[in-house]
Amino acid sequence: MKKTLYLVRHAKAEDRAMFQRDHDRDLVPEGIMAAARMGRHLAAQGIQPDCLISSTANRARDTGKVVAEQLKIDPETILLDEKLFDGGPKAYMAAINGLNENWQSAMLFGHNPDISYFAEFLTHADVGSLSKGATVTIEFDDLRWAEVSGRTGRLVSVVSPKQLKD
């Protein structure tokens, strides 16, 4: 059975201020609007992930909440994984490999450069550096989540908020 993974880079966040932890940076209004635009696009495509997982960083978590609202999913159901913040692609792999096998699709909200590297690792496609708020769709044929690893996915699409019309 086919599994689908949506990787979403957090939307535009405020610049890091002196004495502010990177983890605590919030989305700026432009980022909120871009996340909503991406969420509306995904909803129009009929996307309804079984599970949403996010880094605990404010900007990733809030991107997830905005997208979830557009998908008519309760934002409180987003699973938070602190390892997705600065844990590297290995943390992303652990999050995916640990998914419930009954779920056919999952959406993960994270950070660059890790999320871009992870997309390339899974697909062996040249994804480059994902823009803020961009979504990568990857499909896995006849694999369980626990079997997902390097080069096992097929890149379906890469969409950035800037490509979308309001």
Residue 115 has pLDDT above 80, yes or no: yes
pTM for the model: 0.97
In this structure, of 12-26, 105-119, 146-160, the range with the lowest mean pLDDT score is 12-26
User: Given the DSSP bridges, would you call strands 135-140 and 154-159 parallel, antiparallel or unpaired?
Assistant: antiparallel
Residue 137 has pLDDT above 80, yes or no: yes
The b-or-e profile of 141-152 (16+ CB within 10 A means b, else e) is eeeebeebeeeb
Grouping H, G, I as helix, E, B as strand and the rest as coil, residue 29 is helix
Would you say domain 3-163 falls under CATH 3.40.50.1240? Answer: yes
Question: What residue segments make up the domains of the chain, in order of their start?
Answer: 3-163
Tokens standing for residue 125 = 């496609």
